[in-house]
Amino acid sequence: MDTLYIDCRMGVTGNKLLGALMDIMENPDLFVYNFNRIGMDSISMQRMPDAMNGVTGSQIEFQRRASDEFDPYADEIDADEAEEHRPLRHRSRTLYDIEDMISELKLDASVKERAIKVYNRIADAAAKTNNRDKETMKMRRTGSRDIIASVVGVCMAMNELKPGKVIASVIAVGDGYMNTPRGRMPIPVPEVQMLLEGVPFNAGTETGELCTLDGAALIAEIADEFGNIPEMTIAKSGAGFGRRTFKRGVNCVRSYLGKSLYTAANEAYIELTAEIYGLDKDAVSELGKELEEIGIVSAHTVAICDMSGNAGHLVKVIVDNETADTVATHIMEKTGTKRVIRSLVNAYTA
């Protein structure tokens, strides 16, 4: 199975994520050509190979094409890494405007559906934090054509790569404050924090905004799980660069595509181990039945003897993370043992 690992420890934006994904494609230039034919109004993608501090990758930019028609959105914010909010003098798109725009593109239905799901995530977060209806919310930064293009591009890239599993690192969100329409706010702003609910994040090593709204929504949408890079053989690696210069690292998202040592059917489990004395075989068997009712993967016992010659049972139980605490508490209450050892294990399954 192909596993895609995305390293977001220096932050994540739509453009950087797109660059990292394109960098591991067989033919990224063909991807650029195909993107520029989907009907994205007055905008085109450019890919520029780049290298920073020994890291090679791609920088993605979206260029505005000249148009004779009046554009009511001409003053959009075109920098997904803009540190300061700039007031708009023109109209801002709503969620419905963006959905209509995506729906009219020459794309597979699954790509359109995923891009619209990403924007619904953003709209939900913005509506909740501003106490507004998401249908009437103005999508200021994320309503820009360049941001829409990067979201659509990431969804196209995922459709082309089709990894069996996507794992992402902890997300660096940045530190300090940033200017918003609601005034100066600490980083992460409430919308980003809401988009990253259930996703591990930290401040990272740089000041300023490192994780944008589109970056947060995209990584929450495409990642199956979060953690350190698994044991895997790397077939391709890439990077997507941002425009800012970082003081303590390289401004990029990195990507690794390869084969993990276990397939998608395999999972990480918790193994609970306890030494039990003073219970006979029937009592231990009854404990096993009770644990099965709670919900476990498997359990078995091994006869043991302590240093004083007392006979006992070593109980080993494999459980999901969600039920581990309940099972451990039940073992201690029913057996009187004072300690249950918890370990993280990975299982190979057919």
Q: Could you read off the pLDDT of 292-325 as tens digits, one per residue?
A: 999 999 999 999 998 989 999 999 999 988 889 9
Residues 158, 275 share a domain? no
Q: What is the pLDDT of residue 79?
A: 43
Task: Give the domain extent around 186.
Answer: 2-260
- Tell me how many domains the chain contains: 2
Residues 286, 255 share a domain? no
DSSP label at residue 47 = E
Quickly state the pLDDT bin for 83 (edges 50, 70, 90): very low
Average pLDDT over residues 67-81: 45
Comparing 39-48, 62-71, 136-145, 179-188, the range with the smallest average pLDDT is: 62-71
Average pLDDT over residues 99-113: 95
All residues at 6 or more sequence positions from 246 whose CB lies less than 8 Å from its CB, including other chains: 10, 205, 206
Q: Is-above-0.75 flag for pTM?
A: no
| Tokens found for residue 213 | 């709204």
Residues 168, 71 share a domain? yes
Residue 337 has pLDDT above 70, yes or no: yes
Residues 70, 47 share a domain? yes
Residues 326, 197 share a domain? no
- Give the end of a domain, one of 225, 260, 295: 260
Q: What is the pLDDT of residue 70?
A: 43
Token pair 């359109």 in the structure block, residue: 112
pLDDT tens string 34-53: 999 999 878 899 999 988 88
Residue 188, preceding peptide bond in cis (omega within 30° of 0):
yes
Q: Using CA atoms, how far apart are residues 61 and 35, in angstroms rounded to an integer?
A: 13
Q: What is the pLDDT of residue 81?
A: 44
Q: What is the CATH number of the domain that holds 274?
A: 3.30.70.1380
- Give the end of a domain, one of 260, 280, 297: 260
Residues 241, 190 share a domain? yes
Residue 61 has pLDDT above 60, yes or no: yes
Residues 6, 121 share a domain? yes
Q: What percent of the chain has pLDDT over 70?
A: 89
Average pLDDT over residues 134-150: 86
Q: Using CA atoms, how far apart are residues 121 and 215, in angstroms rounded to an integer?
A: 11
DSSP label at residue 9 = B
Q: What is the pLDDT of residue 161?
A: 96
Quickly state the pLDDT bin for 66 (edges 50, 70, 90): low
Residue of higher predicted confidence among 264 and 320: 320
Q: Using CA atoms, how far apart are residues 64 and 172, in angstroms rounded to an integer?
A: 30
C-alpha atoms less than 13 angstroms from C-alpha of 319 in its C-beta half-sphere = 25
Residue of higher predicted confidence among 98 and 92: 98
| Tokens found for residue 122 | 């953003």
125-144 burial, b at 16+ Cβ within 10 Å, e below that, comes to bbbeeeeeebeebbbbbbbb
All residues at 6 or more sequence positions from 226 whose CB lies less than 8 Å from its CB, including other chains: 167, 168, 169, 170, 199, 200
DSSP label at residue 93 = B
Cα-trace Rg, the chain: 25
Residues paired with residue 298 on neighbouring β-strands, in sequence order: 318
Residues 119, 203 share a domain? yes
Mean pLDDT of the chain: 87
- Give the end of a domain, one of 237, 260, 283: 260
Residues 147, 292 share a domain? no
Expressed in angstroms, the distance from the first to the final Cα of the chain is: 13
Average pLDDT over residues 51-75: 72
Residues 29/48, Cβ–Cβ less than 8 Å: no
Quickly state the pLDDT bin for 266 (edges 50, 70, 90): low
Sort strands 311-319 and 298-305 into parallel, antiparallel or unpaired.
Answer: antiparallel
Residues 97, 7 share a domain? yes
Number of alpha helices (DSSP H) and beta strands (DSSP E) in the chain: 9, 17
Q: What is the pLDDT of residue 317?
A: 94
All residues at 6 or more sequence positions from 238 whose CB lies less than 8 Å from its CB, including other chains: 19, 20, 21, 22, 23, 24, 57, 58, 254, 255
Quickly state the pLDDT bin for 267 (edges 50, 70, 90): low
Residues 342, 218 share a domain? no
Residues 153/160, Cβ–Cβ less than 8 Å: no
Residues 272, 251 share a domain? no
